[in-house]
Amino acid sequence: MEFMEECFRWYGPDDPVPLAHIRQAGATGIVSALHRIYDGSAWPEAAIADHKAGIEAAGLSWSVVESIPVHASIKIGTPLRDRYIGWYKDTLRALARQGIATICYNFMPVVDWTRTELKHPMPNGALALRFDAVDFAAYDLCVLRRPGAEANYTPDRLAEAEARFASLTPEAMERIERNLIAGLPATEVRYDRAGFQRALSEYDGISADDLHENLAYFLRQIVPVADELGLRLCIHPDDPAFSLFGLPRIVSTAADVRRILAAQDVQANGLTFCTGSYGTRADNDLVAMIHEFGPRIHFAHLRNVTREPDGSFHEADHLGGSSDMPAVILALLAEQARRRDAGRADWRIPLRPDHGHLLADDIGKDRVNPGYSLIGRLRGLAELRGVMHGIAVAQAAG
Ligand code: DNO
């Protein structure tokens, strides 16, 4: 049995985790982007080549681009979008010339991945990322005072949010605000409150169907280019996989995925299968999704969440939480085997341990990218690798 490709995300030369340590964690592939050029303009080929050379000098290879950012004009559908789509194509061509073929992106309006809490204590002393649904509502309703926000919550939640707001210190609320709008790693834009309100208002009147149409427009332009260049585009799901701040989100469910894959029905239009994001919804059956969408899964983010009864969730151990991670890995390995048998050259699926707890010596370091500390991800990768080995032994034994 062949294993999946073990990758680690690296934010570039500014990442506090150096490539040498990633290599010690046992990864062979790097997932990275030119984070210094994150405004939607084209990535110069020389800069791509430089980034790649740095990765290769450390004995690793640049396996996946995560992400090429999709400019807001494309999501909103303004006339400016054609210019940004043109630059997107230029970046795709430059990456293809450099031999980098797997390209992750997302289509989340305004906010990328979203958490309210970055250091949630676990019983064993580890610190986890968490999304508290009541803190979130308290911020949206009582601090941001988003017009019309009341309509997005149940009467019970409105009451809980008010009570929560009354009980939180101003410092605690400031921390929540910073986590929500001032940017987790890889976020394209960091906002202050006024800027955030402006960014939200740009989506006034844009429904989920409109957003889907704007994605379809984007795909009509870029998928044929990717296809011709032999690239694999893979859209990342919404994290979490439900609407926030009244914004439409269109990559949250199996029905969403069906619609996106059908919009351009070719291999180049594929998925990043993020178990942590899809796993925030109990109605997403991860293994069934792998069975249904397997041939179009070009990249896997493996991470587990524990869903809490009130709609909150926290990031669990990679093998803990609400999703059955070994079953997910078994399904992905079966998909790889199926592709190999079918003679597909791109049969191997790159994975990365997505996020990790803050553990041991990483606790207390001044500079840690939330979710992207070394030791937590090293533990995650080791556990995922262990599952693959266990499956191999079990299969060999019949
Ligand atoms: C969070 C990440 C996301 C992801 C983008 C992909 O840790 O998984 O920021 O990189 O959404 O475009």
Q: Which atom of ligand 1 is nearest to the CA of 371?
A: 7
Residue 183 has pLDDT above 80, yes or no: no
Residue 148 has a pLDDT of 95
Domains of the chain: 5-114+200-396 (3.20.20.150)
Distance 169 CA to ligand 1 centre (A): 30
Among residues 88, 234, 274, 318, which one is catalytic? 274
> pLDDT-derived band of residue 398, with 50, 70 and 90 as boundaries?
confident
pLDDT single digits (tens) 83-100: 999 999 999 999 999 999
The reply to whether 389 belongs to the active site is no
Distance 8 CA to ligand 1 centre (A): 13
Look up residue 116 and give its two tokens: 């309210």
The residue whose CB lies within 8 Å of the most ligand 1 atoms, and thus the one to mutate among 7, 31, 66, 108, is: 66
| Residues whose CB falls within 8 Å of the CB of residue 379, separated by 6 or more in sequence, listed in order | 318, 356, 357, 359
**Angle, to 10 degrees, between the axis of helix 325-341 and the axis of helix 374-396?**
60
Q: Which atom of ligand 1 is nearest to the CA of 239?
A: 11
The reply to whether 318 belongs to the active site is no
CA 397/CA 305 separation, integer angstroms: 32
Residue 187 has a pLDDT of 82
Contact 260, 235 (CB under 8 A): yes
pLDDT single digits (tens) 279-315: 999 999 999 999 999 999 999 999 999 999 999 999 9
Ligand 1 pocket list (CB less than 6 A): 66-67, 104-106, 112-113, 186, 236, 301, 354, 371
Residue 237 has pLDDT above 90, yes or no: yes
Mean pLDDT of 162-173: 98
The reply to whether 21 belongs to the active site is no
> pLDDT-derived band of residue 22, with 50, 70 and 90 as boundaries?
very high
CA 266/CA 233 separation, integer angstroms: 10
Query: Residue 204, exposed/middle/buried by CB under 10 A (0-12, 13-18, 19+)?
Result: exposed
Residue 170 has pLDDT above 90, yes or no: yes
Residue 16 has pLDDT above 90, yes or no: yes
Q: Is the peptide bond before 207 cis (omega within 30 degrees of 0)?
A: no
- Give the closest residue to 47 by CA, choosing from 23, 13, 76, 78: 13
CA-nearest residue for atom 5, ligand 1, is 106
Contact 237, 272 (CB under 8 A): yes
> pLDDT-derived band of residue 118, with 50, 70 and 90 as boundaries?
very high
pLDDT single digits (tens) 305-324: 999 999 999 999 999 999 99
> pLDDT-derived band of residue 202, with 50, 70 and 90 as boundaries?
very high
The reply to whether 71 belongs to the active site is no
Residue 349 has a pLDDT of 98
Among residues 51, 301, 318, 357, which one is catalytic? 301
For the chain, the average pLDDT equals: 97
Among residues 112, 355, 357, 362, which one is catalytic? 355
- Give the closest residue to 277 by CA, choosing from 302, 248, 250, 246: 302
Mean pLDDT of 263-282: 98
Look up residue 313 and give its two tokens: 């969730």
Look up residue 93 and give its two tokens: 């061509």
Residue 216 has pLDDT above 90, yes or no: yes
Look up residue 271 and give its two tokens: 């998925």
H or E element, residue 287: helix 286-293
Distance 5 CA to ligand 1 centre (A): 19
Residue 390 has a pLDDT of 97
Contact 371, 326 (CB under 8 A): no
List of E strands, 49-141: 61-66, 102-106, 117-121, 127-131
pLDDT single digits (tens) 329-350: 999 999 999 999 999 999 999 9
The reply to whether 236 belongs to the active site is yes
Residue 377 has pLDDT above 90, yes or no: yes
The reply to whether 274 belongs to the active site is yes
**Angle, to 10 degrees, between the axis of helix 208-229 and the axis of helix 254-263?**
50
Residue 184 has a pLDDT of 82
Report the percent of the chain where pLDDT is more than 90.
Answer: 97
